[in-house]
Amino acid sequence: MTLSDTDPALAVQAERVGGRIRDMRRARSFTLVQLAEAAGLSHPFLSQLERGLASPSMASLERIARALGTSQVELLSVDEPRSRHGHRSEPADAVSVVRAGTGARGPFSEGSARMLVEGARAFHPMEYHGGNAEYGDSFIHDEDEWVYVLDGRIEVDLGGRADPLRFAPGDALYLAGGTAHRLRSSDGDAFRLLIVKEHPARL
């Protein structure tokens, strides 16, 4: 029995998420085996996910996202539907409008994010809310990233630097792809960021 036999809507979502995982894996030149090992999942299970034959748990999705240097919300905010051959069926609309209180939401790093665009776009803007006083895991990904502090104060650890960079409202940071980074609240209070990430390369 397949997902389409039990819940057609779930099957469509699984196919889209699986296609997104496959796109990001290929953009990073990972094999299925390499990604499975990095995420601590079995190769056959990951293969089923990419083909839309299985639906990942949130725990599995988080492990895959971490291994890809991305987040659950980016994997879940999938592009438009795909054909069975993995190609997008229609081009994205010229205009995308995301109203206040809408947009795909989900975990991102140590907090949560709301995607501010829909469809296949050249970059992914998101509103990020956090408040962690301790650093989480470092992220490293091929895409360039731009960060703007809307509220609160943060510290960003860039790994090789001796001291973290400190930011207050109105400050911005640009990170070239491949730069390891992690952040936390510098005063223990909540913070809100605008983050714009380059879209992973497409085949």
Which pLDDT score is estimated for 91?
53
Distance CA 20, CA 49 (A): 10
Q: What tens digit of pLDDT does each residue of 25-77 get?
A: 888 889 999 999 999 999 899 999 998 888 888 888 888 988 888 878 878 77
pLDDT of the residue at 75: 80
Write out pLDDT tens, residues 162-203.
789 999 999 999 999 889 999 999 999 999 999 998 876 543
Residues contacting 93, CB < 8 A, separation 6+: 119
Residue 10 banded pLDDT, cuts 50, 70, 90: low
pLDDT at 89: 44
Q: What pTM, to 2 d.p., does this model score?
A: 0.75
Closest CA to 36 of 56, 64, 57: 64
* Nearest alpha-carbon partner for 124 in 111, 141, 101, 138: 141
- And the tokens for 100? 């206040």
d(CA 101, CA 69): 26
Higher pLDDT residue, 11 or 165?
Answer: 165
Q: Cα separation of 177 and 195, whole Å? A: 14
Domains of the chain as residue ranges with CATH: 3-68 (1.10.260.40), 105-198 (2.60.120.10)
